Chain A
């Protein structure tokens, strides 16, 4: 029996979820549908992308047998640095964004160094990086808040794409690229081999160190990308941003098919996982009192999906 939780089944869950809420939130009598309309879908896509971009990285890291607790802090640091350089230092936008991305390279590289060089367990190494990144963000802002959206002319559309659509476009574009890498390239196979059995992969000739460096640095850059996008599109550049996002990112990857034991992961699934949570959040916000149940329902949803997957695949084992 195929795994319940995988790219395909996650898509089915998403479709069912969307249909469910479309029915639940259908308007009484005539009037526009508040949930199932194009603008709301675009909104869902935009907000899901903040997690979704990070979830791409998380899927690869978990697939390689690791874990990353730093994404939330890196999102914050990247957004804050981009904001600071653009607004306070007056850098051109592209330069500020590039440095923001560079932050992800550095934090990812630091994690890789600690894990590969110092042989620290990934949990501990990325916990440390999380602390350093978050601390750096607070140091830079000194409590300030940067809002880039005020500084950008209305109707700014880099590359012809309206600003508000950028998060979704970035997420889908990178999801396509990394899904391809995971499924159709040697890198993807080596990542899953490393996560499945690191010793065997090493003996077979896989360069395990390189694989790990790749996933942690990529994960860092993707998280930083999320932060840059947040800063530019949402105008949010503050140090306490994205607190706790790493857990939602990991949950999205797991719902999308990643196994925390390593060796199994799906980038497409992770993105769909982030959309599942995005739809849930959006729908709950439209139900009176729904936002209070937000975290509770999300937690239960993750458990239900993963337990169902376990039960469905019990036959295999």
Chain B
């Protein structure tokens, strides 16, 4: 192995039966490098990470890592034991003990508080992880990995559930690690972020290595072209004429949110922007009737259809098959399996859901396809008012474009759509109007023509100066 290299992977092959997830991939990680891996879903990025982390033995090939390298792996899924405190989770398996073997609780809590502060997480170390919103759970996961000062850090979609501020904090910590000579392997769909943080970027497609370049030598368009094997046309913002108002909030209060007024018309796409904890999900849940409203009114002239965030814990039922998840709740009391199979196939075709059939367990679908399934479930109801909570979180660029196109089609057909997103460019691409929330109150409502990423970021964080994104 080369002297400056921390890790060398050669000829990695991973096969599950007939599926080949990795087909002879080589990778070298240098000390003091942030190395990004990009590709569509199914390209093999997460699999590569798993093999390097040692969680998945490859079918062929080998990984050479310097002896004694401290490795930390933060997987994509944010599933943590609900009943442990953040500090307990962060020190799980690595507890600090006294001479007599008892736990040094206070020391661990202080260290945890420090680690959480470093990553920009406002949660207290004594709080039970299950009570935290997903963004803070992800931050706790990251804090655990970073606390041990790893020499090799493996990150799988770390910013999928993080907002702008949290991402900036993570990047600061990653840069600090890099300065100390650690290597970071960073898997992500967010190409702009990758260009901001990484030194080199490897493109994978269909389990094969396509290219490895210094980040300075590539741009988003080139990466996308290599990832999908063809050039994607740029997103164009269609103009629509909105119809009547179908959703009206008048000084509504629910959860942390208070005094919120907004309206959505047919054919309109309205976005809710805000940091984690600003109350975006609470608003959607209240409109869907899943949360009580303690002041003001919410009036819908049509039935809202709600697609929750966090598809694994709030959206799909893992023990049910694809078809059964789609038809939940079932249409009629006596189920007609053949008719359901037919209709399921129709939805699979319509939304281009990549799967091995209608009866597969949903665990066999990639994140993007799971999200499309969740959308299909909502679309079954032919919604005239659609509430989408983070519709493209953790979804690859190809599926994301397809979902955006779908949302535009639905609006053009007359549906009213209210969506939340942590991805400001996505809001700018999709919405006609964007409501900026901060700590439960609407700060401003912008028409998309007047909005920019900097302006939105400023509104949702409360900063009055113009913010610049990236290093």
Query: A195 on the interface (CB 8 Å rule)?
Result: yes
Query: A200 on the interface (CB 8 Å rule)?
Result: yes
Query: A186 on the interface (CB 8 Å rule)?
Result: yes
Specify the chain B residue showing the minimal Cβ separation from A316.
Answer: B361
The answer to whether A186 and B329 touch (CB under 8 A), given A199-B313, A200-B313, A203-B315, is: yes
Q: Are B329 and A263 in contact (CB under 8 A)?
A: no
Q: Map CB proximity to A onto B303-336 as digits: 1 under 8 Å, 0 otherwise.
A: 0001010000111111110001001111111110
Query: A196 on the interface (CB 8 Å rule)?
Result: yes
Query: B290 on the interface (CB 8 Å rule)?
Result: yes
Query: B377 on the interface (CB 8 Å rule)?
Result: yes
| Bound-complex Cα distance A191 to B51 (A) | 38
The answer to whether A263 and B314 touch (CB under 8 A), given A204-B377, A206-B328, is: no
| Bound-complex Cα distance A317 to B249 (A) | 45
Choice from B313, B316, B330, B361 contacting A186 with Cβ under 8 Å: B330
Specify the chain B residue showing the minimal Cβ separation from A261.
Answer: B319
Query: A185 on the interface (CB 8 Å rule)?
Result: yes
Task: Please give the distance in Å from A203's CB to the nearest CB on chain B.
Answer: 5
| Bound-complex Cα distance A193 to B335 (A) | 15
Choice from A184, A187, A189 contacting B328 with Cβ under 8 Å: A189
Query: A310 on the interface (CB 8 Å rule)?
Result: no
Q: Are A184 and B290 in contact (CB under 8 A)?
A: no
| Bound-complex Cα distance A153 to B320 (A) | 51
The answer to whether A187 and B320 touch (CB under 8 A), given A200-B313, A203-B306, A203-B314, is: no
Q: Are A184 and B335 in contact (CB under 8 A)?
A: yes
Number of residue pairs spanning A and B whose beta carbons lie under 8 angstroms apart = 77
**Residues of the A chain whose Cβ atoms lie less than 8 Å from the Cβ of B315:** 200, 203-204
Task: Please give the distance in Å from B59's CB to the nearest CB on chain A.
Answer: 15
The interface centre, meaning the residue of A184, A202, A203, A316 with most chain B CB atoms within 10 A of its CB, is: A203
Q: Are B306 and A192 in contact (CB under 8 A)?
A: no
Interface of B is mostly: loop
Interface range on chain A (Cβ under 8 Å from partner):
20 to 34
Choice from A190, A197, A200, A263 contacting B330 with Cβ under 8 Å: A190
Specify the chain A residue showing the minimal Cβ separation from B336.
Answer: A184
Q: Are B306 and A201 in contact (CB under 8 A)?
A: no
Q: Are B329 and A206 in contact (CB under 8 A)?
A: yes
Specify the chain A residue showing the minimal Cβ separation from B381.
Answer: A205
The interface centre, meaning the residue of A184, A186, A192, A259 with most chain B CB atoms within 10 A of its CB, is: A186
Choice from B314, B318, B335, B377 contacting A189 with Cβ under 8 Å: B335
The answer to whether A192 and B314 touch (CB under 8 A), given A184-B335, A186-B333, A204-B329, is: no
Specify the chain B residue showing the minimal Cβ separation from A188.
Answer: B335
Residues in chain A within 8 A of chain B (CB atoms): 184-190, 192-193, 195-197, 199-206, 259, 262-264, 316
Show 21 residue pairs from A and B whose CB-CB distance is below 8 angstroms, ordered by the A residue.
A184-B334, A184-B335, A186-B331, A186-B332, A186-B334, A189-B327, A189-B329, A190-B330, A192-B319, A193-B317, A193-B324, A197-B316, A200-B314, A200-B317, A201-B328, A203-B314, A205-B329, A206-B329, A263-B317, A264-B319, A316-B361
Q: A190-B330, A200-B317, A206-B328 are in contact. List 13 more A-B contacts (CB 8 A).
A: A184-B334, A186-B333, A189-B330, A193-B320, A195-B319, A196-B320, A200-B308, A200-B314, A200-B315, A204-B315, A259-B319, A262-B319, A263-B319
